[in-house]
Amino acid sequence: MDDTYISKQNGGHSNRSRLLLLLLLAGLQPVLSSDGETPELDDDDDVEGQKINCTIIGPDYVTVGVPSSIGCDSNCPECTYSMSLDGQTAQGQANVLAFTVNSWVEALTVACTATDDQTQQTATTTKKIQVLAGPANVSVTGPNLMNPTVSHTYSCHANCRPSCTYAWRIDKGPWISGHGNVISITPREMDDSKVLICKATNSLSGLFAAATRDIAVACKLRVSLDLMGGGGTGEEKEH
């Protein structure tokens, strides 16, 4: 972001306003016509030295790794624009600056200066933009093996700034919210496995990412062994 960015935007002037301004600056009053109005002057006589201002147009936040753009607008008819990002001049087209934040910082400061090409008047404005990150590196932690009819707890983690909300899905069921990043599951005896999905959503940008765990469920078989004489004992085998 070391390239200088300068652009122009063209417009028109009116000599009428320029002439009126010069008369006022000289301490003279413009002559009024009989109906109390200023006599018509050429449309090319507009004010040349009017005060200019500029405004930054764009989002209040950007996300790391996501292309973003921000623009600058001014009321001057012929302007040259210069924009910077955190003090460094940045490359862009016209009065629009395109950029991508590659690493997280709390905020960026965008500055725009508009210079009137005719009068050389300048106006500068700044805007602070919050930087968001993630969700990234979403993961689900918990036991690798479940026992039927026993509650098991799993947690979801994601790199997220400022924060993330979490939703869970078990097998092909509906999305479950309101549990935060922790959920408990109790498999049934007939289950061979459970598929657990965690979706992390950035609380500001709405961007989301998900992680999936396929978790095996231990099954228990009761085997009746007929002993001599028809008697038997029951054994439990887990596999």
Gap between the Cα atoms of 36 and 159, Å rounded: 70
Amino acid letter, residue 13 = H
CATH class of 142-221: mainly beta
CATH class of 6-132: mainly beta
**Are 6-132 and 142-221 in the same CATH fold?**
yes
Q: What is the pTM of this model?
A: 0.66
Indicate the domain borders of the chain.
6-132, 142-221
| Distances 235 to 105, 219, 221, 222, 224 between C-alpha atoms, Å | 61, 14, 8, 6, 7
Can you give the pLDDT of all 239 residues of the chain as single tens digits?
333 333 444 433 333 333 233 323 333 333 333 344 444 444 444 545 578 899 999 999 999 999 999 999 999 888 889 999 988 876 555 789 889 999 999 999 999 999 888 889 999 999 999 999 999 999 999 999 999 999 999 999 999 999 999 999 999 999 999 889 999 999 999 999 999 999 999 999 999 999 999 999 997 543 333 344 544 444 444 44
